[in-house]
Structure 1
Amino acid sequence: MMLQVLITILTRDLEKLYNEIDAFTDEDSIWKTTGNITNSAGNLCLHLCGNLNTYIGAKLGSSGYVRDRPAEFSRKDVPKSELLKQVELTREIVAQTLQQLQPADLEKDFPEQVLGKPMTTGFFLVHLTAHLSYHLGQINYLRRVLE
Structure 2
Amino acid sequence: MNAVIDSLSSLYERDIDTLQAEVKAYKSEANLWKVNGEITNSGGNLALHLCGNLRHFIGAMLGGSGYIRQRDDEFNLKDVKRSELIDQIKTTKKVVIETIEGLKEDQLAENYPVNVFGKEMSTIYFLNHLHGHLNYHLGQLNYHRRLLDQ
TM-score (norm 1): 0.98
Q: What is residue 21 of structure 1 aligned with on the other side?
A: 23
2:126 alignment partner, one of 124, 127, 131: 124
Correspondence 1:26-37 to 2 at 5 A:
26-37=28-39
Q: Which amino acid in structure 2 is aligned with residue 11 of structure 1?
A: E
TM-score (norm 2): 0.96
Q: Which amino acid in structure 2 is aligned with residue 115 of structure 1?
A: F
Is 1:143 aligned to 2:145, yes or no? yes
Q: For structure 2, list consecutive stretches of 5 or more residues without a partner in the other structure.
A: none
Deviation per CA, 1:20-69: give whole Å up to 9, x if none.
00011101100012231110010010000000000100000000000000
- Figure out how many residues of one structure are paired with residues of the other and give that number: 147
- Identity across aligned pairs (percent)? 48
- Measured in 2, the distance between the counterparts of 1:33 and 1:139 equals 12
What SS class does the counterpart of residue 46 from structure 1 fall into? Answer: helix
1:59 alignment partner, one of 41, 50, 61: 61
Is 1:68 aligned to 2:76, yes or no? no
Q: Which amino acid in structure 2 is aligned with residue 16 of structure 1?
A: T
Please report the RMSD computed on the Cα atoms of aligned residues, expressed in angstroms. Answer: 0.7
What SS class does the counterpart of residue 85 from structure 1 fall into? Answer: helix
Q: Which amino acid in structure 2 is aligned with residue 123 of structure 1?
A: Y
Deviation per CA, 1:92-146: give whole Å up to 9, x if none.
0000011110111110000001111110000000000000000000000010111
